[in-house]
């Protein structure tokens, strides 16, 4: 069994009160219970039992379902066999589940309870007569009294008056509940760090009223974190109140009732009007802590408390919500908005075990393997872990297997209902966009999806935590996506339109005029032959997407180019690796918005002039047989034209009048192209122009410098003789600073000897690539915002002439190291006081404290002998802190430099002050920690996939220096190094720096 049968109860109460009714019901116990209830401590007392209930199951469940049991030992307690049975059960729960037991000796001597003397002795003499034939039960009761009396508790004879005794007990219970609320979290190091991070946000300034928002998807743990923070800091305020479930209360028109409770808690006045000036003045005199839980709009907060700024100096406000826009409306900017993220796999397993097994001890291998299936299914969502854990508690292994098999067929209704709340708050258009993403566009570029649907709609879905954006790619939690699928299965077809995925041969022939989209997965399809009328009944088809991730499957579909259908309502055609030489003859792109067909066999798309008024995005990358782009004269809304790698393309006949909205033109490696589109320089919105590798370009437009919006100009290794009408590639233009919006300048492989000094005026420039510029001898001072300089292969480069400071103390956001430099070498500087031969370092204990700022690291990497110019130096940096029994990852970042052209060992040297974000110093200083550097090739977790294959063969050495406030400046000064002081004709110079 997964757990004992008695573990079937869930925790329902904070405190269970065990007492002798005749002794204390109408005096001490009633006063204690009232004080507990006033402090919002959920309490169970014996008087709540239905008359006639026996000790089991109602009372047993109440005891088992409580976090703390308080035993009020009064003079007559031992005379009640009911009380003695309660006591035995309470102590059982203490042993089995770690329940906290607190004895209160009310006008009795603890030794009388311990030794069963005095009134307790009198009671047992009577029990011995009644239970003369059941002496074993008498011994159990005696042992229970002795055990309980030996526990730490409270003596009414020592703490007087009675009101002080009650207040002392209350404060102790609050402290223990606070510990318990975060005890599970304290076992989960990452969760404890979240709590401390939120607290630091609340107290990082002395504003009159400091507000912090907790934002994230449903079930991610916002309320749990808010409760833990509230319990930990509420004692520091004159008054505090936690307002739960505001969304639900608002829907039930109960906000006025909540308002009265809130104001009573703060001002202790049951008859009050928030609109009165006097009331506002009273609020302004109180330093309070208020948590507004599950807020859906600003109006709710105002109805409850009015203007938050009216609260007293030093007040703190926490707002939890699924909608980021709500926090902005409440006056929170990005800095105090804390995004609550899911749990890691180790923490997920610990949390699941706490609910499925009621303990966190090792479990047998079979249960562990099934538990890992649950962890995989829930993807770090605490709500799902708790619900499934409670559901599986006490069940046999075969029942676990059956339950997980059922989840594959239909999702858990409780989880789905809670997740669907965010969806229900969307407009109809936003709902449609969400469902389209759930079915078709998860993993797509956010710009592309916004182009198809709505850019503001994508932002709304992000704000409501229904989707995520990472590296410009749309993500969606698996359970959120499953919720979307379930909505589609249940909603009428005529309301939402039909979406279909993973179609097979027979399904294609059962088309419907309600069909909205089709997604083919080539891996799961068998060979099919389309007849010319396959799509004839699909008049409302909007999306046709063919996923083909494996080239072995690219010829499974036959006959598409002979389809007798115009696809006139189609908005998106996505078919990478298409095997057909052209689109169907009747193909009508009248409503087409996105055309994405990479790595195809197309020779042409269509003939003649088509109405392309809606077309915004074309990506025909690596269409190696494509000779010409069709006439785009009616594509006046075209924003993006990507033709990279179209090696046969020699002409683009785009009239100048239709380039007004073009933002991105990518012609990289179009080796047969002899000229750029006419009127390219009249495009006022063009930001990205990539012409690297266009080796047959005869000339560049004379007015290229008129591209006032240009941010990225990439012209690596092109062979044209003139640029900007008057400058040869052996020299860069003196007025290069005219391109004031330029962010990325790619000049790899050219022959200029110097760079104009006015390049420092390009204030937005972040990336400068001058790799393999073999004649370049020196660099001027570069712009202060430069983030990356690539200069490997510059054999004559000898000096930097005050180019930049290597390190720059500014926060560039989570997930990206603040500073990294790469240069030849095989030794770690001696000022790295913690060094190791190998790839990991165990940090000495006791280093994390309030002065901890960050760390400087140094890694010696060995590179592969056989290299490719497209390979990178990739090293994964990871910090792990030891939890209860495992190491938990606290920070993990990718250090990626390249593509690189190097032969020998290299040094990666840099620093990171935003990795820990000063969270660890709130943890016990004796925490063990390990820093490791891993040359991993699988970088999908970091959103870069396999395209950045690593050249790192091995980590030879590593070093770390922890930085503290008083010594930060000194190592930074030491780190300003010139790597070009020594000449080495056998080694190309390399420098990379990220800020």
Per-residue model confidence as pLDDT tens digits over 411-429: 888 888 888 988 998 999 9
Choice among 78-87, 202-211, 796-805 with the minimum mean pLDDT? 796-805
Q: Which residue has the higher pLDDT, 339 or 985?
A: 339
pLDDT at residue number 924 = 52
Residue 692: both structure tokens together: 């690297």
pLDDT at residue number 510 = 37
Active site members: 86
CA dist 16 and 70 (Å) reads 6
CB count in 10 Å sphere of residue 967? 13
Q: Which residue has the higher pLDDT, 715 or 587?
A: 587
Residue 529: both structure tokens together: 């032959």
pLDDT at residue number 499 = 59
The answer for residues whose C-beta is within 8 angstroms of residue 468's C-beta and 6 or more apart is: 462, 474, 475, 476, 477
Are 141 and 131 in contact by the 8 Å Cβ rule? The answer is no
Are 795 and 887 in contact by the 8 Å Cβ rule? The answer is no
The answer for residues whose C-beta is within 8 angstroms of residue 877's C-beta and 6 or more apart is: 817, 857, 891, 892, 893, 894, 895, 912, 915, 931, 932, 933
CA dist 40 and 43 (Å) reads 9
The answer for residues whose C-beta is within 8 angstroms of residue 601's C-beta and 6 or more apart is: 578, 579, 580, 581, 625
Query: 3-class SS at 125?
Result: helix
Of the segments 606-615, 792-801, 895-904, which one has the largest average pLDDT value?
Answer: 606-615
**Residue 857, strand partner residues:** 910, 960
pLDDT higher than threshold 70 for residue 724: no
pLDDT at residue number 332 = 87
CA dist 649 and 674 (Å) reads 9
Are 614 and 593 in contact by the 8 Å Cβ rule? The answer is yes
Are 320 and 246 in contact by the 8 Å Cβ rule? The answer is no
How sure is the predictor about 615, in pLDDT bands with cuts at 50, 70 and 90?
very high
pLDDT at residue number 726 = 33
CA dist 533 and 505 (Å) reads 14
Choice among 486-490, 710-714, 782-786 with the minimum mean pLDDT? 782-786
The answer for residues whose C-beta is within 8 angstroms of residue 293's C-beta and 6 or more apart is: 222, 223, 226, 242, 243, 244, 245, 246, 320
Find the angle CA(63)-CA(67)-CA(72) to the nearest 5 degrees: 65
Of 885, 963, 890, 975, the residue nearest 931 (C-alpha): 890
CA dist 159 and 813 (Å) reads 53
CB neighbour burial string for 824-853, b if at least 16 within 10 angstroms, e if fewer: bbeebbeebebebeebebebeeebbeeebb
CB count in 10 Å sphere of residue 693? 21
pLDDT at residue number 655 = 57
How sure is the predictor about 723, in pLDDT bands with cuts at 50, 70 and 90?
very low
The answer for residues whose C-beta is within 8 angstroms of residue 737's C-beta and 6 or more apart is: 756, 758, 759, 761, 762
Per-residue pLDDT, averaged over 822-835, amounts to 82
Per-residue pLDDT, averaged over 388-412, amounts to 87
Of 495, 561, 504, 554, the residue nearest 528 (C-alpha): 504
pLDDT higher than threshold 70 for residue 814: no
pLDDT at residue number 256 = 87
The radius of gyration computed from the CA coordinates of the chain, to the nearest angstrom, equals 35
Per-residue pLDDT, averaged over 690-706, amounts to 77
pLDDT higher than threshold 90 for residue 594: yes
Backbone angles phi, psi at 748, to 5 degrees: -60, 135
As a whole-number percent, the residues of the chain with pLDDT over 70 amount to 79
Backbone angles phi, psi at 205, to 5 degrees: -150, 170
CB count in 10 Å sphere of residue 795? 17
CA dist 466 and 161 (Å) reads 55
How sure is the predictor about 665, in pLDDT bands with cuts at 50, 70 and 90?
very high
pLDDT higher than threshold 50 for residue 783: yes
- Each residue's pLDDT tens digit, 48-97: 444 444 565 777 888 888 889 999 999 999 998 889 988 998 998 887 77
Q: What is the mean pLDDT of the chain?
A: 79
- Each residue's pLDDT tens digit, 170-201: 988 888 887 665 555 555 667 778 888 898 88
CB count in 10 Å sphere of residue 645? 20
Are 474 and 527 in contact by the 8 Å Cβ rule? The answer is no
How sure is the predictor about 667, in pLDDT bands with cuts at 50, 70 and 90?
very high
Of 800, 796, 858, the residue nearest 829 (C-alpha): 858
pLDDT at residue number 235 = 78
Backbone angles phi, psi at 551, to 5 degrees: -65, -15
pLDDT higher than threshold 80 for residue 240: yes
pLDDT higher than threshold 80 for residue 991: no
CB neighbour burial string for 429-467, b if at least 16 within 10 angstroms, e if fewer: ebbbbbbbbbbbbbebbbbbbbbbbbeebbebbbbbbbb
CA dist 896 and 822 (Å) reads 10
pLDDT at residue number 886 = 65
pLDDT at residue number 966 = 57
Q: Which residue has the tokens 């069994």?
A: 1
Q: At what angle do helices 189-202 and 162-187 cross, to 10 degrees?
A: 120
pLDDT higher than threshold 60 for residue 624: yes
pLDDT higher than threshold 70 for residue 519: yes
pLDDT higher than threshold 60 for residue 495: no
């Amino acid at each position: 069994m997964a757990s004992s049968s008695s573990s079937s109860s869930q925790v329902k109460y904070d405190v269970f009160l065990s007492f002798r009714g005749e002794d204390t019901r109408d005096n001490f116990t009633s006063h204690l219970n009232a004080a507990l209830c006033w402090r919002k401590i959920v309490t169970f007392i014996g008087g709540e039992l239905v008359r006639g209930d026996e000790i089991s199951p109602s009372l047993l469940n109440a005891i088992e379902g409580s976090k703390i049991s308080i035993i009020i030992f009064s003079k007559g307690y031992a005379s009640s066999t009911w009380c003695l049975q309660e006591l035995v059960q309470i102590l059982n729960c203490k042993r089995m589940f770690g329940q906290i037991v607190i004895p209160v000796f009310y006008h009795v001597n603890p030794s009388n309870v311990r030794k069963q003397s005095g009134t307790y002795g009198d009671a047992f003499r009577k029990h011995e007569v009644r239970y003369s034939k059941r002496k074993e039960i008498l011994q159990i009761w005696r042992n229970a009294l002795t055990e309980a009396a030996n526990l730490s508790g409270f003596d009414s004879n020592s703490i007087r008056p009675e009101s002080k005794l009650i207040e002392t007990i209350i404060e102790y219970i609050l402290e223990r509940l606070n510990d318990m609320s975060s005890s599970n979290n304290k076992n989960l190091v990452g969760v404890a760090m979240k709590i401390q991070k939120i607290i630091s946000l609340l107290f990082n300034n002395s504003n009159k009223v400091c507000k912090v928002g907790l934002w994230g998807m449903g079930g991610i743990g916002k309320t749990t974190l808010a409760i833990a923070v509230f319990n930990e800091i509420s004692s520091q305020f004159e008054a505090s109140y936690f307002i739960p479930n505001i969304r639900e209360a608002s829907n039930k028109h109960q906000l006025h009732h909540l308002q009265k409770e809130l104001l009573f808690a703060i001002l202790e006045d049951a008859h009050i009007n928030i609109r009165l000036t006097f009331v506002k003045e009273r609020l302004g005199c109180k330093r309070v802590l208020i948590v507004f839980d599950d807020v859906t709009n600003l109006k709710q907060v105002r109805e409850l408390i009015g203007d938050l700024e009216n609260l007293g100096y030093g007040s703190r406000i926490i707002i939890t919500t699924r909608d980021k826009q709500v926090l902005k409306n409440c006056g929170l900017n990005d800095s105090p908005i804390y995004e609550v993220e899911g749990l890691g796999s180790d923490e997920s397993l610990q949390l699941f075990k706490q609910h499925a097994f009621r303990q966190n001890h090792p479990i047998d291998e079979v249960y562990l393997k099934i538990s890992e299936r649950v962890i995989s299914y829930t993807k770090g969502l605490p709500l799902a872990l708790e619900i499934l854990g409670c559901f599986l508690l006490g069940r046999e292994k075969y029942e676990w297997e059956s339950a997980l098999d059922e989840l594959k067929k239909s999702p858990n209704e409780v989880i789905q209902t809670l997740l669907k709340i965010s969806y229900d708050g969307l407009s109809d258009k936003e709902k449609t966009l969400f469902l389209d993403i759930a079915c078709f566009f998860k993993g797509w570029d956010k710009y592309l999806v916004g182009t198809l649907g709505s850019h503001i709609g994508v932002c709304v879905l992000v704000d409501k935590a229904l989707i995520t954006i990472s590296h410009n790619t749309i993500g969606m939690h698996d359970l959120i996506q499953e919720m979307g699928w379930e909505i589609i299965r249940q909603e009428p077809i005529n309301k939402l339109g039909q979406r279909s995925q993973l179609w097979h041969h027979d399904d294609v022939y059962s088309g419907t005029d309600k069909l909205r989209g089709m997604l083919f997965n080539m891996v799961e399809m068998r060979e099919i032959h389309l007849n010319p009328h396959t799509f004839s009944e699909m008049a409302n088809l909007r999306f046709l997407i063919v996923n083909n991730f494996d080239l072995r499957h690219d010829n499974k579909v036959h006959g598409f180019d002979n389809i007798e259908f115009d696809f006139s309502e189609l908005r998106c055609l996505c078919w990478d690796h298409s095997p057909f030489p052209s689109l169907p003859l009747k193909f009508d792109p009248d409503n087409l918005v996105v055309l994405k067909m990479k790595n195809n066999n197309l020779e042409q798309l269509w003939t003649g002039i088509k109405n392309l008024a809606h077309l915004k995005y074309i990506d025909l990358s690596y269409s190696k047989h494509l000779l010409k782009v069709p006439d785009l004269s009616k594509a006046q809304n075209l924003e993006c034209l990507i033709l990279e790698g179209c090696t046969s393309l020699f002409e683009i006949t785009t009239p100048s009048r239709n380039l007004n909205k073009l933002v991105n033109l990518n012609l990289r490696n179009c080796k047969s192209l002899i000229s750029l589109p006419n009127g390219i320089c009249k495009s006022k919105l063009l930001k990205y122009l990539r012409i690297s590798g266009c080796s047959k370009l005869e000339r560049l437009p004379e007015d290229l410098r008129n591209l006032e919006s240009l941010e990225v100009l990439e012209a690596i290794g092109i062979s044209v003789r003139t640029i900007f009408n008057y400058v040869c590639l052996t020299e860069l233009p003196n007025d290069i600073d005219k391109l004031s919006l330029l962010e990325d300048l790619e000049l790899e492989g050219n022959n200029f000897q110097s760079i104009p000094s006015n390049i420092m005026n390009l204030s937005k420039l972040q990336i400068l690539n001058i790799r393999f510029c073999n004649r370049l001898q020196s660099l001027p001072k570069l712009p202060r915002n430069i983030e990356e300089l690539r200069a490997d292969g510059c054999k004559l480069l000898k000096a930097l002439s005050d180019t930049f400071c290597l390190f720059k103390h500014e926060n560039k956001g989570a997930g990206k190291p603040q500073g990294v430099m790469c240069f030849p070498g095989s030794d770690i500087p001696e000022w790295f006081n913690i060094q190791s031969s190998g790839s990991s370092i165990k940090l000495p204990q006791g280093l994390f404290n309030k002065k901890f700022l960050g760390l400087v690291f140094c890694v010696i990497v060995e590179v592969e002998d056989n290299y490719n110019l497209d390979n990178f130096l990739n090293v994964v940096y990871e910090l792990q802190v030891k939890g209860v029994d495992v190491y938990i990852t606290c920070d993990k970042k990718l250090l990626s430099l390249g593509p690189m052209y190097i032969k020998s060992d290299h040094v990666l040297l840099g620093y990171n002050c935003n990795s820990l974000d000063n969270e660890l110093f709130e943890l016990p200083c004796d925490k063990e920690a390990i820093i490791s550097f891993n040359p991993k090739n699988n970088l999908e977790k970091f959103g870069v996939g396999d395209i950045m294959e690593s050249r790192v063969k091995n980590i030879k050495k590593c070093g770390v220096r922890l930085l503290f406030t008083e010594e930060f400046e000194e190592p930074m000064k030491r780190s300003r190094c010139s790597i070009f002081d020594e000449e080495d004709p056998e080694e190309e110079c390399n420098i990379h720096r990220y800020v």
